[in-house]
Chains A and B, each alone.
Chain A
Amino acid sequence: MDAIIIGKVIDNYRITEVLGKGGMGVVYKAKDTTLDRDVALKMMDARLASDENFLKRFQSEAKALAKLQNPNIVSIFALRESEFGFCIVMEYVEGNTLADKISEMGALPLSRTLAIFKQLLIALDHAHKAGIIHRDIKPSNVMLTKDDVVKVTDFGLAKIQQTSAVTMTMGTGGTLFYMSPEQVRGLANVDQRGDIYSLGMTLYETLTGKTPFTESDTDFSIRQAIVEGKIPPPDRLRPDLPKDLVKVVMKAIDKDPAKRFQTAAEMWTALEKVQIPLPVVDKGTTIDRGGSRSFDPQTKSRRMVYLAIAGVTAVVLFFALRLWMSSPSTTLSISSEPNGSKVFFNGDSVGMTPLTNITVRPGNLSLRLDREGYYTKDTALVLTKGENVSIGVPLRKIQTAPPETAENFPPASSTKSGKAKGSQPKEQSKQTGMATLSLRAMPTGFVTVDGTMRSGNTNQVTTVEVASGERTILFEHPVYGSKILQLTLTPGETKTITCYFESYVSIQSLPVWGTIMIDGKNTDVSTPKDRYPLGVGKHRVTVTRAGYETVEGDKEITIMPAFKENVYQLVFNLRKK
């Protein structure tokens, strides 16, 4: 099967090589021929792919996962069904897994470990905030690029796999080592603290080069140790570990979720506080590996430079210092309003604002500021040699109720008096000869009344008070065009008008489900689908499924802007080719 599929094309993906075998099936490298980029295709095991319930679940879950966008998380691009089965199209990451690194090097150097785990925690923090639990954090699910940028893969797939109705005898493999007690016990409420535990175990192994279990342990004795046993602290295996760091590990792997770090951000802060002792020779560091990176003044923090220096011989130290001191360094100081925001350079965490005089490599730098409760700020800087740059970044607070409409488009003078809109009794409007309009464009659009714009490009309801009499209302969608309504308002009248620039189609296929195609494009949505939104215009709708064709072919449907919500029903009959 592996060999046969190489060179084959699935939609616009040409399969080029086998990357490996995962729990759900084989992973291939492929070329996206339309976008000319490499992708990874995770092909599902034929046994799983023949389980209809599993596929349903898989599709809905994968859709949630596709929404996870973070520089430290492997992105999911699409889902495809082909003659070879179902596959997930994902970001292709050039590099190794953390598991590869550990088996190659044993314990990793402290500084490097901390840099990796801070990124891991940022990825987890992001996913947890989006309500997604990984459930299978382990070294083999942590990809590292050659610059040590972390990319966490297989988010949420463990859950999907578990829902498979296929009774399997296959062992849990290496995953067992990292399983939290609550997972082993099969408790229903495994939350983000389960991921914290698995991450703690992964950190344990990265720091010591070993898991706390031995070869003579059986599946069941490992399960027993996880639920009831005592895990020896990692400094038992590596005595030079800073006590603070040992504490972080042991807190993360506490059997009681309530005693662990409660969030990834909390653990990140604890790691941030860990002091790495300078004079200690970092055992895992080798000159050719840690060294080449650390000599370069681009290194994220000076502390790392110092560390690597501590680890190498005097000769190298001399060269390193010369190199470091002779290069005209560019420094950057960053503050934010408010401070306390996490700072990322090119996706790597470098600390929290305020940061002063950080040495950076001249050139392009993508800067991200991330603070809870504020909008993430992404910006790019171009830094020239020897420059000392200082920047202050204002952060915008996330509002729970978006006041934007009112702020950006202050209603005309007539409504200024309407400040107390809600509390003012209607009689007043009657006396003043005013009428109230509640206007809304769906899914979004501008609203203009008598030539005055009343609402920006939004789907929020805009309530305006206007003089009674004849009024012209214009609803305008940035893509789908506009619709005009003329109406006569009597004093005191309240009118609610919604203009729909899209309608909904409910699509079914019989007797089996298929994937919905709209205007020749795969939507990754499967039938039956209730209320799929279609914008204004002519659309061709059909359903595909490998080995099947629709009796009806395509169906054409024309959507016009309307003042009521329209729902169309489409039914396709699939027959075997």
Chain B
Amino acid sequence: MRTITYGNNSDVGRVRSDNQDCVGKFPEDSLDLSLPMGQLFIIADGMGGHKGGREASQLAVQTIQEEYFAGSQGNIGECLRQALMSANEHIFQYSVDHPELSGMGTTCSALVLQDDHAYIAHIGDSRIYHITKKRISQLTQDHSTVAEMERRGILTKEEARYHPERSHLYRALGTRPEAEVDVLDNIDLGTNDYFLMCTDGLSNYVEEGEMQNTVLSHSPQEACEMFTAIANERGGQDNITVQVVHVSGGDSFINRIMGA
């Protein structure tokens, strides 16, 4: 039987005057992985001015949890994708109705844990990492212009790191009528997995090795608080939001197939 513990923390940082990030976990009153729609974790980093950014990230979290659990039919990955697309329409329409907020948008990374599997839907440059004792791997791809240029070899890693436009996104929720969402389906869970979700306010300051060590040696909530403290110590240029989920117990992948 798998059980989860999780923690999260969101901090304004040391430079910005308000927090435009948003984080959530649903359903709020359950940790049961066997529910048909599982457990949903969301993180969003809003952009487009004080008001627009905050509203966009909140709208995203709100709409996605409503739409996702209302879906309840079919494949979980597909439901997640639909939920993000609805949030996109919702935010875009909101910016049309409120011209002073035009250009508002948000990144969004959502994770569902259900039984033996994890599911991910993602757009923007927030990140989801999968961490085990042996490795840390980034499950999401940054949809920033600079990251894409680096993938195509136009920029070196070093150039990408200090590029003045590194926060410029070519894909986001709410900025266009249509959104292209990345979905990862059926990620097999082991017997001791961690998921780290964070906005660029953290990933700009903390390398993967440090993320892995911190997550493995602390409770999820402690780790989250440590991460925001570290990012602030190193500059805190942006809002910092982080959510850590620990999934343990159950059968490993091998045992599951062998047993079947």
Contacts and interface: CB of A to CB of B under 8 A. Distances in A.
Interface of A: 1, 45-48, 50-53, 162, 165-171, 184-188, 219-220, 223-224, 227-228
B164 interface: yes
B162 A184 contact: no
Given A220-B149, A220-B152, A224-B154, A169 B49 contact: no
Interface in B20-54: 45, 47-53
A169 B152 contact: no
Given A167-B169, A169-B168, A186-B159, A47 B103 contact: yes
B163 interface: yes
A53 B15 contact: yes
B155 interface: yes
A158 to B, nearest CB: 11
Given A46-B49, A220-B149, A186 B162 contact: yes
B247 to A, nearest CB: 31
A166 B168 CA distance: 9
A339 to B, nearest CB: 44
A359 to B, nearest CB: 50
Nearest to A170: B103
Given A162-B165, A186-B162, A169 B170 contact: yes
Given A47-B103, A53-B15, A220-B152, A185 B48 contact: no
A75 B239 CA distance: 38
A50 B51 contact: yes
Interface of B: 15-17, 45, 47-53, 99-100, 103, 105, 145-146, 148-149, 152, 154-155, 159-160, 162-172, 175
Contacts of A219: 145, 170
Contact of B48 (A47, A220, A224, A228): A47
Nearest to B99: A1
A169 B154 contact: no
Given A50-B50, A162-B164, A220 B148 contact: yes
Interface of A is mostly: loop
A185 B154 contact: yes
Contacts of B52: 47
A186 B105 contact: no
11 contacts: A46-B100, A50-B51, A162-B165, A167-B167, A167-B169, A168-B48, A171-B170, A185-B163, A186-B155, A186-B165, A220-B148
A186 B49 contact: no
Choose among A169, A186, A219, A220 the residue with the greatest number of B CB atoms under 10 Å from its CB. A169
Nearest to A171: B170
Contacts of B170: 169, 171, 219
Choose among B99, B154, B165 the residue with the greatest number of A CB atoms under 10 Å from its CB. B154
Given A223-B149, A224-B152, A185 B50 contact: no
Contacts of A171: 170
Interface of B is mostly: loop
A169 B16 contact: no
Choose among A1, A186, A219 the residue with the greatest number of B CB atoms under 10 Å from its CB. A186
Choose among A53, A167, A184 the residue with the greatest number of B CB atoms under 10 Å from its CB. A167
A48 B152 CA distance: 31
Contacts of B172: 169
B164 A186 contact: yes
Contacts of A224: 152, 154
Contacts of A51: 49-50
Q: Which 5 A-B pairs have the closest CB atoms?
A: A186-B163, A47-B49, A167-B47, A169-B175, A167-B167
A227 B49 contact: no
Contacts of A185: 154-155, 159, 163
A445 B164 CA distance: 47
Contacts of B105: 169
Nearest to B173: A169
Nearest to A53: B15
Contact of A187 (B17, B103, B152, B159): B159
Choose among A53, A168, A188 the residue with the greatest number of B CB atoms under 10 Å from its CB. A168
A166 B49 contact: yes
Contacts of A165: 15-16
A162 B146 CA distance: 14
Contacts of A187: 159
A219 B162 CA distance: 20
Contacts of B15: 53, 165
Nearest to A221: B152
A228 B156 CA distance: 13
Contacts of B160: 186
A182 to B, nearest CB: 10
Given A167-B53, A169-B172, 19 more contacts: A46-B100, A47-B52, A50-B49, A166-B53, A167-B47, A168-B47, A169-B169, A169-B171, A169-B175, A170-B103, A170-B175, A185-B154, A185-B159, A186-B160, A186-B162, A186-B166, A220-B149, A223-B149, A227-B154
A52 B149 contact: no
A55 to B, nearest CB: 12
A72 B17 CA distance: 41
B109 to A, nearest CB: 15
A48 to B, nearest CB: 8
Contacts of B175: 169-170
Nearest to A163: B164
Given A162-B164, A162-B165, A167-B168, A186 B47 contact: no
A12 B59 CA distance: 41
A186 B103 CA distance: 24
A289 B117 CA distance: 71
Contacts of A170: 103, 175
Contacts of B155: 185-186
Contacts of A47: 48-49, 52, 103
A50 B168 CA distance: 19
A168 B47 CA distance: 7
A187 B164 CA distance: 8
Contact of B47 (A46, A48, A166): A166
Contacts of A184: 149, 154
Contacts of B17: 52
B147 to A, nearest CB: 11
A165 B155 CA distance: 22
Contacts of A166: 47-49, 53
B108 to A, nearest CB: 13
A2 to B, nearest CB: 10
Contacts of A168: 47-48, 103, 168-169
